[in-house]
Structure formats: C-alpha cells, structure tokens
Structure 1
C-alpha cells in the first residue's frame, strides 16, 4: 500500500505505513516459517495492514469537516461587513467594492463542499480499511484452524507439527485469503489517493463551472437524473452543489456523496427557518392552544435537528450521509449510515406514527442497531442503513387508521429506491425495505401501487400492509417477511366489523357465524404474520410495540439476517 498522497498523513505518520510487526492484535499469533513449501504474499503489506489504524483516517476526515464551520463564520463576517459598507458608502466605487466582497464570499463558500468531500473520501477509506483488516483476521483464523504458518511477511507454509496424514493442508486457500485482504486494502488506498489528488488539483483554476441551463424537473425518474448528472463535468457538479444545493440535495438519482454535500450546506438555513418560526410564535404569546402547540412542535424540531447535526459532525462510525432535510411541518429527514452507493447491502427503514424531525435521531438509532448486528454477523461485508423519514407520518390514531398518508408517501419511496439502484457503484446491492407500524403501511402501499426496487420487504408491528397476500407486493416469493411481538398492541388494530364479531363470539358463537368476517383482518388488510398471508415470519420476544430493536430481542437478529440475505 502506498498511502494517500503527500499533504495528507504521509510516509512517516500515516496509519497505513506502520513499520515492522505490530505489537498487538491477531498478529501476535504469527510464527516463523517452518519447513515445507511456502507461498509468497505481498511482502511487508501484511504487517502494514495489521498496523493500519482506520480510526486515524476517520479522525483526519472529521478535521477536514470541521473547516466548514470556519468557512461559515468567515462568510457571515464578510456578509456583515458588506452590509455596513452599503449603509455608509454609495456611488460607483462603492458598488464595485460591494461586488468584489460578494464575489469573495462566494469563493469562500465554495470551499465548504471540498472540505465535506475530503471527509467523505477519508471516511470511506477508513471503512474499507476496516473491512480489509477483518478479511485478514479471517485468513489468520483459517491458518490457525488448518495448521498453516504465516510469517511476518504474510507468507503461508505448512506446519509439520499440525499436519494430519491424508488431510490436505489449506496453504493455497490461506495464501489466497491473505492476498485478497491485501488487495482490497491496496485498492482502497489507490482510490482514496486518486480522489484526493483530483480534489487538490481541481482547487486551482476551473474549480467551479456553470452547467447547461436545463435542470431535471420534480418527479424525474432517477435513471434520467443519473444520466444527466453523469453528463456533467466535475466542475459543473461542484457548481451545482455550491450554488443550487436545494436542487441537488433532493434529487433521487444524484449520488449520495453529492446529496450529502448539498444537504449539509443547507443545515444552517434549515435551522434558521425553525428559529424564525419560533420568534414569530413567541411574539404572539400569550396565545391560544394552536400557538402553544405550534411552539412546542418547533421547539421539538429544533432539539431534534440539533441532535441529528451532532451525529453528522461527531465523527461517529459509520459516517452519516444526509440525503434529505425539510423542517416544514413535523419535519423530514433521510440519513444513511455508511455510503449506500458503495455498500454490499442497503437497508431502508421507514418509521411509523408520530415520526418526525423531533425524534429522527432516535429512529436513526434503530436503523443503526440493525446495521451493527449485520456487521457483527458479517464483519467482512459492507452494510449501509438508511432512515427514510420523507413523509407526513400520522400524529393521532384517527389519522393512523386511514391509508391517505401512506398513499401520499408511495411515489417518493418508489423514487428513492429506484435512485439507490441507479447510483450504486459496482454489482447491485441487496436492498431491503423495513417498515414499522404505520411505516409498514407506507412500504406495502408503495410496493402495491408503484413497485419497489427491493430484494426483500420486512414488516414489524404491522397493522396490515394494504394487501391481503404477499403476492400483491410484487416481489419474488420467499422475500416478504413479518414479525409481531406477542404483546404488541397492534394486534388490537381490528376493523370495526372484526371487533363486533369478537364481541358476538363472547355472547353467542352462532351469532358470530351469522355476522361472518375475517378473523385475521387488521386495519389495512390481513395480518402479514398470519400463515394465510404468505409471508415468512421470524420471532420476536415480548418487547411490546417498539422493542423490536432491543438487544435481547431475537427480532433484531432476524432483521439483520434478512438484510444479509441469510
């Protein structure tokens, strides 16, 4: 591994350049080669990979990301200075000076996406380095189990003391596994170095260039958006991110990295919208119930946005990608943990009733638990988890008993999933869409009415999904899954005729027969955990309606295994 280019952590201090044999970790099991045939593997790259520190690269990315705050402060100071200049100076010279200050502010603001991009590159490199180290650990475990010795250079040879007569020694398998781990680290290294080189070279002349005037209108299919984006030059894409972040941030079919850059630039503006609304409501106090309720909503949204912003900037792993943000109403957010365009598996989680910006951080934590469980079950694979909170979730039971909001959300969820397919790099990822409570109605309705680019659908705590059988979800058999906890109150979400039938059952079985009705019907169709629905089920413990993500609940393990395709 060569290490990213000069100007970033270099030969003497970069995590991928640790010299010699590491002092800790699985390398402690390395032994000197014994007799027998040896297979050479990648020289000193073996020791360097053990010594590599992914956290160091991720921290370097966070340092770059922190420069965006400095840029914002300097740009604000320039804007304030320009305002004072206009107030006390007029004429041609004043106009010329004001224009120059505005131009300087624009140039300064354009640096923020570059700092975000540097963080993205280094965070992605750190993530791929972790996977390479996990693959190397598996190779060492295979060597230990198969009686194969590895020396400090990663060369594999047969251990005569551990050899079993007649049993083939997996020397070649171990050597291939070590080589594959080292090659994956080298590939990540080369790509990161190339992207940083390109970013550094572009920072000179031609950093930004206006694109052609046409823009994809709202509702454009993601494949067409992807084609439009691919036809732009890097300088034109940077221009759009810096000058039109509202457009770039919401377009399905634009890569996750560009959407993340654009939406991060908008966080401050979104917060200002909420602060302005709070000032307006405070100015009307003492007001009536509507004003008080509105003020409580705004305060909750502000708190939720601040919590989400903290996760976006704290350097937590995996890196968070902000794919959408809207403070209007209850607030909306789309956040990915890990780059979905580079992952082997992508989970899209759709939360249910009362979900909004106020609790986006908590809902993101649920997606994170599934992703973390996937990483524990398969440490060598890359999984991204997306919180998709881009619809108006019901706030009250009388709203949650109706399908209107789920129907309204269907086209947006359909486009988002299509966008994930369109922007993914390399072989297609396995895509799973998970709906909880009313979110399962959103997922089922979208699949029924529009189709979803998904390999599996998962429903937990569902009041029905808008169809009476799995075949209505337009997905291959065996990839529709459901779980409902034994003590989940959603089991009581029966339609009025079913409730009447239950009352009559208690009074007279004959009356119940006369009334008829479907015993397994819920608000939005047949219970997806009922055998007659046709879904595959997985167990949940007694954790109530919101406990499917609790560490002790077998449902968490079930969701992770579905995402992994196991």
Structure 2
C-alpha cells in the first residue's frame, strides 16, 4: 500500500499539467496550418552592423525572398498563404530575416533600427504563423507607437517569429521541446543585436508560450530586461534559476484565463512536461508590473495599462499603476532589487 500515494500524486501532477494544453491561445482553432512549400531563402549571415546601407540591403533581399515564397504558395494552390506573404512583401515592411519553409520564420523591424537606443524584441506564443501574422503585427505596431510617446528615446520593435510555435491544443504545447529548440536561435539573435547596437537597451517581451522560450534562452542572454506576460511559467522554479543578468518582470491581466493553469513540472527523458512556478507568484521572485483587467490576448491593445507598462519597461522607466497613454518623465528613484536580479553585475 505504501506506493499508492506516490502514484496518486504523480497522476494528479500529470493531469494538472495537461490543462496547459490551453497555453497561449491567441486565436480560435486547434490545428496548425499545413506546411506550404517555399524556396530556400538567400543566405545573409549574422547581423554584424545596423548601418542604413546594411539594413537596406537585408530588407531588399528578404523582400525578394518573400515574393518568391508568395509565388510558390500561389502555385501550390494555397492562396491564403500567398495573400499573407503578399502583405509581408510591401515596400514599407522591413525584415531582417525570412524563411518561408516549415510554416515560416521571420524577424521584422518596426522603427529605425539604425538609430535605436531602445529595442524591444517580441517573442510570441502558440499558433503564431504567417497565416495569423496580422495579430502579431498589430501588437508590434501598437508597442512601437506607445514607445514613440516616451520622451528622449529612439525606439525600435522587433517581431521575432524565429521558431515553429506549437498548436494551441497539441502535445507540443505541453512541453518545453519547442522552447528548447528555439532558445539557441533567440540567444544568437539577441547577441547579434547586442554586437551591432552595443549601447542600446534591449528588452525581451515574452508572451505565453513565448515566455518558456525566453526562459530557456535566458542564461547568457545579453538583454537588460526579460518580461514574462500571460505566462504559464518559464520552465524554472524561481527567477534566479533563469541564471540571467537581466531584470525579470512578470505581469498578468485580471481576466487572463492562464491564471487557472496549474503550475507543475515533470522531467521526462527527452523533455519537460509543464512549465513550473507561476511567474507572478511571490515565490518566483520577479518584479511585478500592473497589467490591468484584460484577457490573454489583450496585453498589446492600445489604451491598456499592460501596453503602457510594457512600453515603460522597454524605455527603461518604472511601470505605473494606472494607464499611461501620454509621455511621462523618468522616475528618479530606482526600484528595489528582487530575486530575479540576483545575477546582475
């Protein structure tokens, strides 16, 4: 009879973690779009500098690659994907990277990266792809506009779709496997940004399953701030366990259903099931920013306290308790350090 309580606890843990199948639901629909063929993109190599000439060359090259992918999708008969790619290839769009294969990867810039001294990198959650990209783009645009209201800075927002996000309801959404695979790419990209913009403040804004990606990428990540919002967990018991020199922030809207997701974690031979401690809990030790009353998909909506505070953090200013839709001066008092900052120099 002695082993029964142990098996019972394990069963309860597994059942609890399975609830995380709802992780990062940004849109309705449970199935990931079928893969659409696309040609291999032009090899560009790492981002070594952000001079206007270098950026113009990359933007023109990726635009040509997007148009090639559009033609391939159209010939394949997937007119929905072709239409989405046509929008991405507009002359006003600026992509540092693009790969149309395997559901698509891209890195899009909003703002003038050549002058930016504040760079916010958005890391999305599940069901983000070229077919649903407009939602991701809307959030990036809203953040760039909000940052533009902060005085005395030159901001840029980067929408990093650098991994195949899991489907909303799928085994991949229950484990860290996709995040484990994505973390080296995210870390490498941020290191390129740091090398090319050494004086800029870099903030990672990580939504839902994207916060698992950021948690896995955190060790050695040369970012100033790491922000987890609408998060099921970061794959760690505490912010200190992320082993990052970045300040770790966390926030959750009052109407975000992810608050009901149990926070459990079970190591398996090749992955981890579940995502660990709730990032907004005192035990985790992150700095908490007010995120308002919104739901899981509302954090980057214009006029919300969450958007205002995410922009303030990215600008290097402390969050406020109420919506801040106008420019505000720098606070003179520095906030207290937390467990999440234990590894800062």
**Both proteins in one fold, TM over 0.5:** yes
Match of 2:120 among 347, 352, 376: 347
Match of 1:440 among 211, 225, 228: 211
Distance 2:259 2:126 in 1: 16
CA RMSD of aligned residues (A): 2.5
Q: Is the 8 A contact 1:432 1:457 kept in 2?
A: yes
> 5+ unaligned residues in a row in structure 2: which ranges?
1-40, 267-272, 318-345
Match of 1:375 among 133, 148, 153: 148
Q: Report whether the alignment pairs 1:309 with 2:89.
A: yes
2:242 aligned residue: 473
Alpha-carbon spacing, 1:376–1:328, altered in 2? closer, same or farther (3 Å): same
1:408 aligned residue: 181
Shift of 1:274: 4.1
Query: What are the Cα deviations for residues 60-108 of structure 1, in whole angstroms up to 9, with x where unaligned?
Result: xxxxxxxxxxxxxxxxxxxxxxxxxxxxxxxxxxxxxxxxxxxxxxxxx
Q: Is the 8 A contact 2:265 2:276 kept in 1?
A: no
Using the size of structure 1 for normalisation, the TM-score is 0.45
2:261 aligned residue: 493
The DSSP-based 3-state class of the residue aligned with 1:413 is: helix
1:394 aligned residue: 166
Distance 1:525 1:265 in 2: 41
Q: Report whether the alignment pairs 1:429 with 2:200.
A: yes
Match of 2:156 among 352, 365, 384: 384
The DSSP-based 3-state class of the residue aligned with 1:428 is: coil
The DSSP-based 3-state class of the residue aligned with 2:188 is: helix
Distance 1:270 1:308 in 2: 7
Alpha-carbon spacing, 1:436–1:535, altered in 2? closer, same or farther (3 Å): same
Alpha-carbon spacing, 1:466–1:267, altered in 2? closer, same or farther (3 Å): same
Q: Report whether the alignment pairs 1:541 with 2:292.
A: yes
Distance 2:89 2:72 in 1: 19
Alpha-carbon spacing, 1:415–1:496, altered in 2? closer, same or farther (3 Å): closer
Alpha-carbon spacing, 1:308–1:266, altered in 2? closer, same or farther (3 Å): closer
Higher strand share: 2
Distance 2:130 2:257 in 1: 25
Alpha-carbon spacing, 1:428–1:525, altered in 2? closer, same or farther (3 Å): same
Alpha-carbon spacing, 1:269–1:343, altered in 2? closer, same or farther (3 Å): closer
Query: What are the Cα deviations for residues 155-206 of structure 1, in whole angstroms up to 9, with x where unaligned?
Result: xxxxxxxxxxxxxxxxxxxxxxxxxxxxxxxxxxxxxxxxxxxxxxxxxxxx
Q: Is the 8 A contact 1:246 1:263 kept in 2?
A: no
2:336 aligned residue: none
Query: What are the Cα deviations for residues 81-136 of structure 1, in whole angstroms up to 9, with x where unaligned?
Result: xxxxxxxxxxxxxxxxxxxxxxxxxxxxxxxxxxxxxxxxxxxxxxxxxxxxxxxx
RCO (CA 8 Å, sep 6+): is it higher in 1 or 2? Answer: 2
1:527 aligned residue: 278
> 5+ unaligned residues in a row in structure 1: which ranges?
1-244, 283-297, 315-319, 499-521
Q: Report whether the alignment pairs 1:483 with 2:254.
A: no
Shift of 1:400: 1.1
Match of 1:265 among 61, 65, 68: 61
Q: Report whether the alignment pairs 1:251 with 2:46.
A: yes
The DSSP-based 3-state class of the residue aligned with 2:232 is: coil
Shift of 1:466: 1.1
Alpha-carbon spacing, 1:534–1:494, altered in 2? closer, same or farther (3 Å): same
Shift of 1:395: 1.5
Shift of 1:394: 0.6
Aligned residues: 270
